[in-house]
Amino acid sequence: MNRRSFLTTAGAGAAATAIAAPAIAQSNPEIRWRCASSFPKSLDTIYGGAETVARRVAEITEGKFQIRVFAAGEIVPGLQVLDAVQTGTVDCGHTASYYYVGKDATFAFDAAIPFGLNARQQMAWMAHGGGMELLREFFKGYNVVNFMAGNTGTQMGGWFRKEIKSVDDLKGLKFRIGGFAGKVVSKLGAVPQQIAGGDIYPSLEKGTIDAAEWIGPYDDEKLGFNKVAKYYYYPGWWEGGLNVSMLVNQQRWDTLPKHYQAALETACSDATLAMLAKYDVENMKALRRLIGAGAVLRPFPREVMQACYQAAFETYAEEAARNEKFRTIYEPWSRFREEEYLWFRVAENSFDNFVYATPTPKK
């Protein structure tokens, strides 16, 4: 190659590099978002779901896309996250959508429905059973795009000052209970209270409420419920597998570069698995400590469970009759639930029932 040819080629290469560099920079802009959480920082697992999303987004985009997480109350109260995302006060929010059933009961499908789906079934419905498509259409009306960004697994039934021996014991009970379940227990005479996580303890301590549920042993121990209520009931039949969501303002989502959108989706998936796994590890340890400290573990009586089951499906029928948005999701959700239950009865339930009831052989 002669000198002139070399210089021409080298010059062309340098020019291409000069052109390419700004193009790459433009496709990887620095973006800073604010995320409002519905949860206090002290609850490292559920609040930590948003932090997982933020960390993974930053790692995947080499620090170009940064999300700063704010705990409940730092920008908006925990139960106002949806409103803040919808109006663009924040770019995104990490929350449980059933907090907003006062706006529309349909929100509960994005989180948990009484006697509904466990964690795996909820993920299956949303990812491959048509659930996400239905929910995305619903959330459009609120200027929001929703993502799975955590799951707690099946929750506990909560802390009670008095024993629950019959359905009559629910009458007049002031019960902090989340989401659609409040409508169900009110049918049986309880008085549901929607209270953010960080505000539950003082309400229980002062006697403003008689009972409270949150998630499970790990968080309940941190919140100190065992210090002000003695009886710990299970299961939380209203939350077989609570999906925690990342809600994103529609305009903010639409203006994200496609590879940043992919980074956010990937980070939310990571957060879903991480949250469920951590609760499964920590809950048993915490339950042992709580029982050692004097908590009295009790199953809900079968009579109570059956009454709540009946009340739940009566409530669904009533809501579907008057709420077209609810009905649009409830009908395919019900069909999916029946199919999943048939499958889980065959292998999953048979395996679980045997191994959980059979002691490990001694060596």
Is 106 a member of any domain? Answer: yes
Query: Considering only CA atoms, which of 195, 167, 168 is closest in space to residue 179?
Result: 195
What pLDDT score was predicted for residue 26? 59
Spatial neighbors of 80 by CB under 8 A, at least 6 apart, are: none
What pLDDT score was predicted for residue 363? 77
pLDDT average per 10 residues of sequence, the chain (363 residues): 44 44 65 97 97 98 98 96 98 97 97 97 98 98 98 97 96 92 95 87 92 96 95 97 98 98 98 98 98 98 98 97 98 98 96 95 85
Q: Which two tokens stand for residue 130?
A: 């048509």
Is 111 a member of any domain? Answer: yes
Is 212 a member of any domain? Answer: no
Crossing angle for the helix pair 324-346 and 119-128, to the nearest 10 degrees? 120
Is 249 a member of any domain? Answer: yes
Is 263 a member of any domain? Answer: yes
CATH number of residue 94's parent domain:
3.40.190.170
- Do residues 194 and 213 lie in contact, with contact meaning Cβ atoms separated by under 8 Å? no
Is 104 a member of any domain? Answer: yes
**Structural domain boundaries, residue 95:** 30-152+241-281
Burial label, 94 (beta-carbon count in 10 A; 0-12, 13-18, 19+): buried
Is 132 a member of any domain? Answer: yes
Is 145 a member of any domain? Answer: yes
Distance CA 45, CA 54 (A): 14
Query: Considering only CA atoms, which of 220, 219, 118 is closest in space to residue 160?
Result: 220
Using CA of residue 38, residue 299, residue 272, residue 224, what is the dihedral sign? Answer: positive
Query: Considering only CA atoms, which of 81, 65, 54, 198 is closest in space to residue 144?
Result: 81
Total of domains in the chain? 1
